Amino acid sequence: MPNSLRFALTPGEPAGIGPDLCLLIAREQQTHALICVASRTLLLARAAELGLQIELIDTAPDTWPTQPAPAGSLYVWDTPLGEPVITGQLSKANAAYVLQTLTRAAEGCMDGSFAGLITAPVHKGIINDAGMAFSGHTEFLADLTGTPQVVMMLATRGLRVALVTTHLPLKDVASAITTERLERVTRILHADLRDKFGIARPRILVCGLNPHAGEGGHLGREEIDVIEPALEQLRGEGMKLIGPLPADTLFTPKHLEHCDAVLAMYHDQGLPVLKYKGFGAAVNVTLGLPIIRTSVDHGTALDLAGTGRIDCGSLQVALETAYEMADSRITP
């Protein structure tokens, strides 16, 4: 059997459901070697709490595995906690631990130890409360890898949606959509669909900003003044871009059947449709990074940690997507 690719899995907030997800997913054998960058002590305690019999197999840079772990086992790169975890209770003492797992995993991707990184949810508030400025996984990884611009894309089976703007008040969206920004985001989306998903000539549907895509300027001129000129420029570079189309009709089978991704202008234009289609089985993909990074699409769920009443669907899709992206990268 040829050597397997290796992937890093970070469990995020130790008091939340991230450790549970790592243990639950280990019940099934993965197609690649999956290394959980986490505290062995934490995983042992959570497995006992959940009543799971999961064998933890120690690994480190000098003993990386070359094959997937058997079903019922999990590779662990032991990373010490700041203090023992009480399930469901946040602690500032473990904020540095969370960032250490991310740093180890990302640097492992950068040096070729790992083919990609899959992240479980972190709790931004407790990290900031501990005195460490942290606005999220995406920004942290962009800084760590020296990436000036990244793009947020969510995906579920049968649909990918990338965003021109992300977490902005609605009143600020129109002014944030400039020709330069739209061109930059579209280039990143197109490049990663080609280079990380193996799509030779991506077909991207582009939403208009206004109802009816502006109705010829009667419902807003952003399509005429900003979006259409940007798309024309990019089409001249060989990109296959359809739009701007009205968002209320773009998200229909007629249009989606032959597209590889949708580019939405703002958060609540594109993501409600995707989450309706794939809630609990969607994945967050950070485009533009020099590494592959996917994430679950939900939070830490402190109240569910240790109960066993959680769904691994989003983590499974995040794993499958990372594997797909890495396989596409190495397959001509």
Instruction: Render pLDDT for 266-306 as a digit per residue (tens, 0 to 9).
Output: 999 999 999 999 888 899 999 999 999 999 988 999 999 99
At 167, the pLDDT band (50, 70, 90 cuts) reads confident
Residue 330 pLDDT > 60: no
Binding-site residues from annotation for substrate: 137-138, 275, 284, 293
Residue 225 is classified by DSSP as: I
pTM for this structure? Answer: 0.90
Q: What is the pLDDT of residue 16?
A: 98
Q: What is the pLDDT of residue 9?
A: 98
At 2, the pLDDT band (50, 70, 90 cuts) reads low
Q: What is the pLDDT of residue 219?
A: 94
Encoded amino acid at 3, one letter: N
DSSP one-letter string for 12-70: -STTSSHHHHHHHHTTS--SSEEEEEE-HHHHHHHHHHHT---EEEE--GGG--SSPPP
Percentage of the chain lying above the pLDDT 70 cut = 98
Helices of type H across 76-215: 95-110, 124-129, 137-145, 170-176, 179-195
Q: What is the pLDDT of residue 328?
A: 86
| Domain boundaries for CATH 3.40.718.10 within the chain | 6-147+291-330, 151-275
Q: What is the pLDDT of residue 278?
A: 87
CA-based radius of gyration for the chain: 21
Q: How far apart are CA 248 and CA 158, in angstroms?
A: 18
Q: What is the pLDDT of residue 1?
A: 45
Q: What is the mean pLDDT of residues 167-196?
A: 96
Classify domain 151-275 at the CATH topology level: Isopropylmalate Dehydrogenase (3.40.718)
At 332, the pLDDT band (50, 70, 90 cuts) reads very low
Residue 331 pLDDT > 60: no
At 162, the pLDDT band (50, 70, 90 cuts) reads very high
Tell me the CATH number for domain 6-147+291-330: 3.40.718.10
Residue 124 pLDDT > 80: yes
Residue 175 pLDDT > 80: yes
Q: What is the mean pLDDT of residues 91-108?
A: 98
Residue 92 C-beta-side C-alpha neighbours within 13 Å: 7
Angle value at C-alpha 85, between 83 and 88, nearest 5 degrees: 145
Tens digits of residue pLDDT in 244-257: 999 999 999 999 99
Binding-site residues from annotation for a divalent metal cation: 167, 212, 267
Residue 191 pLDDT > 70: yes
At 86, the pLDDT band (50, 70, 90 cuts) reads very high
Q: What is the pLDDT of residue 67?
A: 96
Both tokens of 227, joined, read 């979006």
Which positions ≥6 away from 266 have C-beta within 8 Å? 163, 164, 165, 168, 170, 173, 209
Tens digits of residue pLDDT in 7-61: 999 999 999 999 999 999 999 999 999 999 999 999 999 999 999 999 999 999 9
Strand ranges across the sheet with 33-38: 55-58, 73-78, 33-38, 6-10, 116-119, 293-296, 282-287, 151-156, 159-163, 261-264, 203-207, 240-245
Binding-site residues from annotation: 137-138, 167, 212, 267, 275, 284, 293
